[in-house]
Chains A and B, each alone.
Chain A
């Protein structure tokens, strides 16, 4: 089920959270809403879910071409996973997952044994077999997150919405779960929209990345497009480390740390190179980071492979020549 967002605006008092935002989320895609806090990404997600309503005006939300703007959240058929999971803490895992089915109108409600079967099926799907009798406070963060996901999927939603799905987890669990979610999405193929402030997460996980800033969408594209061809300095800076240069006439140019090559000062080529002195060197891990200082006092960050660094045999205080390795 595709999601179309047309010209949605939202104000809280005098604060503009969204300004005429339009977006297409293709059927079956995994789309990331990426932006700093206050950019409006969570508000947009909540409006799609029906937990928040857009300002009066021409704005509308379509699910597969059907206008759902006035449809209450409970009737939209969305699965929503909250940032802090919002599990019902007085219920067991099984009761949590079965909740959406148990509150259906009597005519549509499955029998208790059908609910039990569906809960079991979902527990297997999220790899939590055997935990059905636990309560939320007896689970780890990653397990809670998957219970929240199973609960959202129990009602067979048309779209899945996740608010900062990995925000409350520690780094290792985060990485595992991210990979798991990618595989999981490929298996069930449900149109999924998730909010994150972590560019790495968005680039690694999503088919489509939507960069948001100050209540507006800054750029939409595949991770590759966004990373390689950012439309604005903001996107450039937000998507990863970057060195920013301002020429005397005020024009700005950007170069990423891995787009710079380092050679010995003896090989200095005045047409393309700049001379620099190494100020700091960090080489734990496969990628080494250098911080060098240009003759005009500006600091530049450079990333090399460990091997390159070792081959050059550099240390702090050495003079080097640096040049861009981008095709001219």
Chain B
């Protein structure tokens, strides 16, 4: 036993521990995944595809993509800025800000949804009636722009929304809630990474005459690109899969304010199990894809360390 190490346990102990781990893994990870696919295909491929292509499902997929498409870039930007600020500068309240970034992780998703109803709901601080009042000048401008013959088309959507500015129980609320819940992913990934790298390379670039923007693109970003990508992946997975907060603000209007996870719940509650699981396979595939990309990113980011 040439490769025996001081920390290696005896053979039966190893077999027991490995066996236990395998049982737990298959019971809690593989079995549920298998169940999702099995249940989705139980009534055949036709039903499977039909459940994915019916109107409500398509609208849910669209809304999910839209939400992630807005929340992920926003939070990439926010996360980068936040990480840059707290790692490259020292200021009063820095520790507090770092804790604040974690707030969305610390509060329950239900609360994360409810706060927006408190603010924008009918009995909130900024109810729709008040919003209409506040946005009236903007609405007038947009209406004017929309009536323009040549470019009016571009403003129709904005004008329509500004005339009746609904946030909760509408798409904007879903996006806001998702942005809130997924805020920490990118920042959390970048802060320890940028902290460990320090500011040496940036300082070197400064003495060599590079300006802030160039330093960011040529020095900082290449050093954090894998960490950033990792954060974006996790952020995206959560943005598409978020249930709690979105459920509170959505209002469950079928074909309008249901995201994919909400749509699955509706289907399930209506005893349409095959359809529910068919949609669930999309989220499961998203999870597998995320994991796959994540391990690729980890491998790529592995070797070149200074």
Pairwise interchain contact B305-A90, C-beta atoms closer than 8 A:
no
Which segment of A96-104, A265-273, A282-290, A314-322 sits at the interface? A96-104
B-facing residues in A65-104 (Cβ within 8 Å): 72-75, 78-80, 82, 84, 86-90, 99-100, 103-104
A99, A136, A154: which contacts B210 (Cβ < 8 A)? Answer: A99
Pairwise interchain contact B200-A137, C-beta atoms closer than 8 A:
no
Question: Is there a chain B Cβ closer than 8 Å to A152's Cβ?
Answer: yes
State the total of A-B contacts with C-beta under 8 angstroms: 74
Question: Is there a chain A Cβ closer than 8 Å to B208's Cβ?
Answer: yes
Write out the residue numbers on chain A whose beta carbons fall within 8 Å of the beta carbon of B223. Answer: 89-90
Give the interface centre of B203, B204, B205 by most chain A CB atoms within 10 Å.
B204
Question: Is there a chain B Cβ closer than 8 Å to A51's Cβ?
Answer: yes
Give the contact-size bracket for chain B: 10 to 19
Task: Knowing A86-B200, A90-B222, say if A136 contacts B207 (CB, 8 Å).
Answer: no
18 A-B pairs besides A49-B207, A88-B218 with CB distance below 8 A are A79-B207, A80-B203, A86-B204, A87-B201, A87-B204, A88-B219, A89-B223, A89-B306, A99-B210, A103-B205, A103-B209, A103-B211, A135-B304, A137-B306, A148-B204, A151-B204, A154-B208, A155-B208
Pairwise interchain contact B206-A86, C-beta atoms closer than 8 A:
no
A-facing residues in B290-306 (Cβ within 8 Å): 304-306
Smallest Cβ distance from B227 to chain A, in angstroms?
Answer: 13
Write out the residue numbers on chain A whose beta carbons fall within 8 Å of the beta carbon of B306. Answer: 87, 89, 136-137
Task: Please name 17 pairs of A and B residues whose Cβ atoms are closer than 8 Å in the assembled complex, sorted by A.
Answer: A50-B207, A51-B203, A51-B207, A72-B206, A75-B209, A79-B207, A80-B203, A86-B203, A87-B204, A88-B204, A88-B222, A90-B304, A100-B209, A103-B210, A137-B306, A148-B204, A151-B208
Question: Is there a chain A Cβ closer than 8 Å to B214's Cβ?
Answer: yes
What CA separation (Å) do A89 and B201 show in the bound complex? 9
Smallest Cβ distance from A5 to chain B, in angstroms?
Answer: 18
Pairwise interchain contact B208-A74, C-beta atoms closer than 8 A:
yes
Pairwise interchain contact B304-A74, C-beta atoms closer than 8 A:
no
Give the interface centre of B207, B210, B218 by most chain A CB atoms within 10 Å.
B207
Task: Knowing A136-B306, A137-B306, say if A99 contacts B205 (CB, 8 Å).
Answer: yes
- Chain B: CB-nearest residue to A80: B207
Pairwise interchain contact A88-B214, C-beta atoms closer than 8 A:
no
Write out the residue numbers on chain A whose beta carbons fall within 8 Å of the beta carbon of B209. Answer: 74-75, 100, 103-104, 155
Write out the residue numbers on chain B whose beta carbons fall within 8 Å of the beta carbon of A82. Answer: 200, 203-204
What CA separation (Å) do A55 and B73 show in the bound complex? 41
Task: Knowing A89-B304, A90-B222, A137-B306, say if A73 contacts B206 (CB, 8 Å).
Answer: yes
Pairwise interchain contact B214-A78, C-beta atoms closer than 8 A:
no
Write out the residue numbers on chain B whose beta carbons fall within 8 Å of the beta carbon of A90. Answer: 222-223, 304
Write out the residue numbers on chain A whose beta carbons fall within 8 Å of the beta carbon of B211. Answer: 74, 103
B-facing residues in A128-156 (Cβ within 8 Å): 135-137, 148, 151-152, 154-155
What CA separation (Å) do A100 and B209 show in the bound complex? 6
Give the contact-size bracket for chain A: 20 to 34
In the A-B complex, the 5 residue pairs with the closest CB atoms? A100-B208, A86-B200, A74-B209, A86-B204, A103-B210
Write out the residue numbers on chain B whose beta carbons fall within 8 Å of the beta carbon of A103. Answer: 205, 208-211, 214, 218
- Chain B: CB-nearest residue to A89: B306
What CA separation (Å) do A31 and B200 show in the bound complex? 23
What CA separation (Å) do A303 and B299 show in the bound complex? 57
A78, A84, A135, A137: which contacts B207 (Cβ < 8 A)? Answer: A78
- Chain B: CB-nearest residue to A81: B204
- Chain B: CB-nearest residue to A77: B209
What CA separation (Å) do A155 and B205 show in the bound complex? 12
For B198-242 the 0/1 string (1 means CB < 8 A from A) is 001101111111110010001100110000000000000000000
What CA separation (Å) do A74 and B200 show in the bound complex? 15
What CA separation (Å) do A79 and B204 show in the bound complex? 9
A74, A84, A87, A151: which contacts B206 (Cβ < 8 A)? Answer: A74
Give the interface centre of B201, B205, B209, B214 by most chain A CB atoms within 10 Å.
B209
- Chain A: CB-nearest residue to B215: A103
- Chain A: CB-nearest residue to B197: A89
What CA separation (Å) do A136 and B223 show in the bound complex? 13
Write out the residue numbers on chain A whose beta carbons fall within 8 Å of the beta carbon of B208. Answer: 74, 99-100, 103, 151-152, 154-155
What CA separation (Å) do A103 and B210 show in the bound complex? 6
- Chain B: CB-nearest residue to A49: B207
What CA separation (Å) do A90 and B207 show in the bound complex? 19
Smallest Cβ distance from B121 to chain A, in angstroms?
Answer: 46
What CA separation (Å) do A84 and B199 show in the bound complex? 12
Write out the residue numbers on chain A whose beta carbons fall within 8 Å of the beta carbon of B206. Answer: 51, 72-74
Write out the residue numbers on chain A whose beta carbons fall within 8 Å of the beta carbon of B201. Answer: 86-89
Smallest Cβ distance from A57 to chain B, in angstroms?
Answer: 22
Write out the residue numbers on chain B whose beta carbons fall within 8 Å of the beta carbon of A99. Answer: 205, 208, 210, 218
- Chain A: CB-nearest residue to B305: A137
What CA separation (Å) do A87 and B205 show in the bound complex? 9
Write out the residue numbers on chain B whose beta carbons fall within 8 Å of the beta carbon of A89. Answer: 201, 223, 304-306
What CA separation (Å) do A99 and B209 show in the bound complex? 9
What CA separation (Å) do A148 and B306 show in the bound complex? 14
Pairwise interchain contact B218-A74, C-beta atoms closer than 8 A:
no
What CA separation (Å) do A98 and B208 show in the bound complex? 10
What CA separation (Å) do A49 and B205 show in the bound complex? 13
Write out the residue numbers on chain A whose beta carbons fall within 8 Å of the beta carbon of B219. Answer: 88
A-facing residues in B39-88 (Cβ within 8 Å): none
What CA separation (Å) do A50 and B204 show in the bound complex? 11
Smallest Cβ distance from A108 to chain B, in angstroms?
Answer: 10
What CA separation (Å) do A148 and B222 show in the bound complex? 19
For B20-33 the 0/1 string (1 means CB < 8 A from A) is 00000000000000
For A29-45 the 0/1 string (1 means CB < 8 A from B) is 00000000000000000
